């Protein structure tokens, strides 16, 4: 079914504007029949953040911004789905055009600006599926014109705690002016303190809600030192490394798109995001697990990200070019690697290459 879906949809959707194609993909997934997926190889199971993931492959935030199709994605073989970014109030985002394919680079530039239906609408959708299985995380952010962005995050934690498998505190999108300033150590410390406090206040009624921090790949190593220190001191449950980059590698072939503002994702982000995973892993010293995201488009790329320090991985941009069949292809490759090397679990190779990666020349 997935092969048939890819064979039909990938060529068709490329004829349309990227954002229109995205909307069509969401509508198509809404029509997906409730088929039962085959069970994952038990060796691919991952225990992280107090949660049991059937496999390590997640749909990254940004695809299903308003929780329209999380269960369809889970049925397609994802081990978990992260919806959002959700803001307290509905938000239309930045003016179009704001999403651009870089075909020859297998990359995407976006400046969407947290467009979503708002907390009230998203909460209704997640509450309606609360009886269903599957890990669905909620990526939270502040409204663009909010007078108190920290208060926005606190409100979202309180609102979604009963229905979120975990939270991702997104302070790393480049498309909301000033948002990345929240990564500054003294501001981040205040934000995480209040977010964790909110989580603890609602724990008795809502249950456990792991809190993850998503960072930008453009931090300097000194800034990363401070961010990881704050994350450890505030006892976050994990980190996601990394969001899109505002950098433009010299190797980009689609030079007509280089000047488009926004975050770059896809294959050109792979080396930088993998280096940041390794750098974060050695600084975290096992205090919490990491989710690696950025440029994963094959089983080999997924394995590299895991060996750099990621316990779990997320995809998005690569699906535009490789299709949903990429999920099963990665799982097959990872399972084959474990069998070939005599390993019982992916956890045995997490971070195996982290030290070596941090000794390499900085990716450009």
Question: Cβ distance 91 to 10 under 8 Å?
Answer: no
**CA dist., res. 61 & res. 78, Å (int):** 13
Phi, psi torsion values for 322, nearest 5 degrees: -105, -20
Rg of the chain in Å (alpha carbons): 19
Best CA proximity match to 118, nearest among 141, 148, 134, 137: 141
Among 263, 266, 269, which residue's Cα sits nearest to residue 249? 269
Neighbouring CB atoms inside 10 A of 222's CB total 8
State whether residue 213 is helix, strand or coil. strand
Long-range CB contacts for residues 352-360, cutoff 8 Å, separation at least 24: 352/307, 353/278, 353/304, 353/307, 353/308, 354/277, 354/278, 354/281, 354/282, 354/307, 354/308, 354/309, 355/278, 355/282, 357/274, 357/275, 357/278, 357/308, 358/275, 358/278, 358/279, 358/282, 360/275
Tokens of 326: 């990429």
| CA-closest candidate to residue 192, choices 137, 145, 229 | 229
Q: Residues near 45 by Cβ (< 8 Å), separated by ≥ 6?
A: 52, 53, 54, 55, 345
Is position 173 annotated as part of the catalytic site?
Answer: yes
Residues in the chain: 364
Mapped to the 3 state alphabet, what secondary structure does 46-109 carry?
A: EEECCEEECCCEEECCCCCCCCCCHHHHHHCCCCEEEEEEECCCCECCCCCCCEEEEHHHCEEE
Query: Out of 66, 165, 172, 173, which one is annotated catalytic?
Result: 173
The answer to whether 108 and 320 are in contact (CB under 8 A) is: yes
Kindly list the catalytic residues: 173
């Amino acid at each position: 079914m997935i092969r048939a879906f890819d064979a039909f949809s990938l060529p068709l959707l490329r004829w349309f504007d990227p954002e229109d194609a995205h909307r069509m993909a969401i509508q198509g997934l809404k029509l997906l029949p409730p088929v039962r997926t085959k069970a994952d190889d038990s060796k691919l199971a991952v225990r992280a953040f107090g949660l049991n993931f059937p496999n390590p492959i997640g749909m990254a935030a940004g695809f299903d911004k308003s929780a329209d199709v999380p269960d369809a994605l889970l049925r397609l073989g994802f081990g978990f789905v992260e919806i959002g970014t959700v803001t307290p109030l509905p938000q239309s985002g930045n003016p179009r055009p704001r999403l651009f394919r870089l075909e020859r680079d297998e990359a995407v530039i976006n400046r969407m600006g947290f467009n979503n239906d708002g907390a009230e609408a998203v909460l209704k959708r997640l509450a309606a599926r609360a009886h269903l299985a599957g890990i669905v995380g909620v990526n939270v952010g502040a409204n663009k014109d909010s007078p108190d962005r920290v208060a926005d995050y606190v409100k979202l934690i309180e609102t979604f705690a009963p229905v979120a498998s975990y939270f991702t505190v997104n302070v790393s999108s480049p498309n909301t002016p000033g948002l990345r300033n929240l990564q500054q150590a003294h501001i981040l410390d205040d934000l995480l303190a209040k977010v964790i406090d909110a989580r603890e206040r609602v724990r008795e009624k809502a249950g456990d809600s792991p809190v993850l921090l998503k960072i930008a790949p453009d931090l300097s190593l000194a800034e990363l030192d401070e961010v990881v220190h704050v994350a450890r001191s505030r006892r976050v449950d994990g980190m996601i490394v990394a969001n899109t980059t505002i950098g433009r590698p010299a190797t980009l072939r689609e030079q007509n798109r280089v000047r488009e503002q926004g975050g770059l994702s896809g294959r050109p982000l792979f080396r930088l995001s993998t280096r940041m995973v390794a750098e974060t892993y050695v600084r975290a010293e096992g205090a919490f697990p990491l989710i690696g995201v950025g440029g994963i488009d094959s089983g080999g790329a997924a394995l590299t990200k895991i060996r750099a320090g990621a316990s779990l991985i997320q995809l998005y941009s690569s699906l535009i070019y490789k299709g949903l069949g990429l999920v099963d292809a990665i799982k097959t490759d990872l399972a084959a690697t474990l069998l070939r090397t005599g390993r019982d679990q992916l956890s045995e190779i997490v971070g195996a290459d982290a030290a070596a990666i941090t000794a390499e020349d900085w990716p450009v």
